[in-house]
Amino acid sequence: MNTAHQARTALVTGGGSGIGLAIAEKFVHSGIRTLILGRDQEKLNAARNRLGELCHPYCFDLNDLASIPALVRRLTDEFGRIDILVNNAGINMKKDLIDTTDGEFSRILHTNVMAVFALSREVTKGMVAEGRGCIINISSMASQYGIPKVIAYTASKSAIEGMTRAMAVELSPLGIRVNCIAPGFIATDMSEKALNGDAERKQKVLSRTPLGRLGDPGDIGEAALFLASEGARYITGTIIPVDGGNAIGF
Ligand code: NDP
């Protein structure tokens, strides 16, 4: 166990599965107490059983924006403070632009942008009081280049990258570093839905990924652990692709 991380507390949204679970796992293995949040209690319990007693599951729907201040107060009362916030929870929808309804577009923006804003605002209040903190947002290749059939998701992840810069300039002077990881195509439930059954899309992804494979959720976990570490103390406002070279692939 790395003692440098001891006594710190992280909140990882969507920590019950996929990339969030891999981030939570890296944190826990480094001795960071890690609160994982999602809507599916069974999934969260399974993650807790796998990660052990430094992992604390919380069942909460981030779409319930009005309840976020009370949630953060409850977590802060219970754990003292939140040192690291990973805004990982997100949803995707693959649909032609002309078939996407206003309601569907709004639903994606609500989870992927509004909830990230509301949770970051509330957690930041405690970080400002402490004079330190670390926020890690998760964007996507959809905000690096154009991908068809993901208009709402692209809008949401482009917002996340802009928000990362806006948060970093305002919060870094207060001791809070804010960064963003832009994952490439990572093998999770989400990418399975987007790529399986669409051999052409999957081939396109792999052909422009110089490292020649989909990413493993743990690849993102490693990057998040670094960004949360003392080694990243002079890094803020960045968007770091962890993508096997997909963003620069030919
Ligand atoms: P998963 O679908 O496996 O995980 C998404 C997580 O978000 C789930 O644990 C889910 O929990 C949680 N979540 C979704 N909506 C809510 C909500 N309203 N309230 C609380 N929790 C919620 O996907 P990934 O692990 O692949 O994705 C994680 C992040 O990485 C997302 O932001 C995604 O956009 C991003 N990303 C993924 C890529 C990939 O290739 N996989 C590529 C680029 C970015 P529950 O089901 O319990 O609600």
**pLDDT value for 7:** 85
Alpha-carbon distance 177 to 36, whole Å? 21
Q: For each of the domains in the chain, give its residue range(s) and CATH number, in order of start.
A: 3-186+218-242 (3.40.50.720)
Length of the chain: 250
Structure token digits, residue 161: 């990258």
Query: Which of 187, 171, 188 is closest to 179 using CA atoms?
Result: 171
Count of C-beta atoms within a 10 Å radius of residue 182: 25
**pLDDT value for 219:** 98
Structure token digits, residue 67: 């309840």
**pLDDT value for 97:** 98
Alpha-carbon distance 231 to 43, whole Å? 32
Alpha-carbon distance 170 to 225, whole Å? 23
Q: Which atom of ligand 1 is nearest to the CA of 62?
A: 19
Alpha-carbon distance 229 to 118, whole Å? 25
Q: Which residue's alpha carbon is nearest to atom 29 within ligand 1?
A: 88
| Active-site amino acid positions | 153
> What is the chain's alpha carbon radius of gyration, rounded to the nearest angstrom?
17
Q: What is the pTM of this model?
A: 0.97
* Secondary structure letter of residue 63 according to DSSP: T
**pLDDT value for 5:** 47
Q: Which atom of ligand 1 is nearest to the CA of 90?
A: 32
- Tell how far the Cα of 14 is from the centroid of ligand 1, in angstroms: 6
- Tell how far the Cα of 140 is from the centroid of ligand 1, in angstroms: 12
Averaged over successive runs of 10 residues, the pLDDT of the chain (250 residues) comes to: 65 98 98 98 98 98 98 97 98 97 98 99 98 98 97 98 98 98 96 88 95 97 98 98 97
Task: Give me the amino acid identity at 157.
Answer: K
**pLDDT value for 225:** 98
**pLDDT value for 6:** 47
Angle of the 41-51 helix axis to the 18-29 helix axis, nearest 10: 30
Query: Which of 157, 185, 161 is closest to 244 using CA atoms?
Result: 185
- No. of H helices and E strands in the chain? 9, 7
Task: Give me the amino acid identity at 243.
Answer: D
**pLDDT value for 179:** 99
Alpha-carbon distance 139 to 229, whole Å? 20
Alpha-carbon distance 50 to 17, whole Å? 11
CA distances from 139 to 42, 161, 172 (A): 26, 7, 20
Strands (E), the chain: 9-13, 33-38, 55-59, 84-87, 133-138, 176-183, 239-242
Q: Which residue's alpha carbon is nearest to atom 44 within ligand 1?
A: 140
Ligand 1 probe mutation, 19, 163, 164, 240, most atoms within 8 A of CB:
19
- Tell how far the Cα of 155 is from the centroid of ligand 1, in angstroms: 16
Q: Which atom of ligand 1 is nearest to the CA of 17?
A: 9
